[in-house]
Amino acid sequence: MKFLFPLLFVFALIRPADAQAVLTGTVTDPEGRPLPGASVLIPSSNTGTTTDEAGRYRLAIQAEGRLEVRYAYLGYREEIREIQPGGGKDILVLDVRLTQKTFLLDELEVSATKAQGLSPFTYTNISKEDLSASDFGQDAPYLMRWTPSVVVTSDAGAGVGYTGIRIRGTDASRINVTINGVPLNDAESQQVYWVDLPDIAGSAQEIQIQRGVGTSTNGAGAFGATINVETNNLHP
């Protein structure tokens, strides 16, 4: 018996160092809706957990000493709470409401532009003067047949009616055609029916042909090439 009391005294000193408590609670938004997947972190011990579908969490913590608990969720402000375990409580309940974070973004301007002089693309510009000199009422592809890598075919053989065009061997379904930046390709076949655009060259200020992948992002048809028709300027 004389060794029992010293051993009990030693165990009494060791037990508090290993003692643990449980921190539990819920994490919600300002309206009280649960935030599943919110992180709960104790930096001092580098331990943490995440909330479940109902916003609940449960985390083992030290039973003594002051602890800092951080709550974070994407799009919400981080919340920091300090707790003081002890007082004979094995379970601490801490419910937290996170406030939304406001992001102020600069305005975004989206504009369609054609390739310029130093652009790293292969392109050819056909000016209004060149179009007028070779425009005899034929379909627009016939006015482009003298440019590099362009092959034009015509069902009637005269350039009027159903006219086909290939650029670098790519058929018309992979050539993106725009008028002032607006896509012209058929939504289903990706073809362009030039027969529906009689004498479009007479209203064109300039036609740019980009061979290969260029600057256009107007649709899937831009895989092989891009033809951008720019109509006459109303205010020169």
Q: Would you list the domain boundaries of the chain?
A: 18-97, 122-231
Give the pLDDT confidence score for residue 29 in this predicted structure: 94
Report the percentage of the chain scoring pLDDT > 70. Answer: 80
Note whether 40 and 50 are within 8 A (CB): yes
pLDDT in tens, 117-142: 666 678 888 888 888 888 887 888 88
Q: For 122-231, CATH number?
A: 2.170.130.10
Q: pTM value?
A: 0.48
- The count of other CB atoms within 10 Å of the CB of residue 144 is 20
Residue 103 has pLDDT above 80, yes or no: no
Q: Binning pLDDT at 50, 70 and 90, where does residue 41 land?
A: very high
Q: Which CATH superfamily is domain 18-97 in?
A: Carboxypeptidase-like, regulatory domain (2.60.40.1120)
User: Dihedral of the CA atoms 111, 115, 116, 122 (nearest 10)?
Assistant: 170
* Selection from 84, 82, 86 nearest residue 96 by Cα: 82
The answer to whether residue 34 scores a pLDDT higher than 50 is yes
Nearest to 180 by CA among 215, 236, 231: 231
Distances (CA, A) of 8 to 5, 18, 51, 180: 5, 16, 40, 89
pLDDT exceeds 70 at position 114: no
Higher pLDDT, 204 or 107: 204
The tokens for 46 are 């580098």
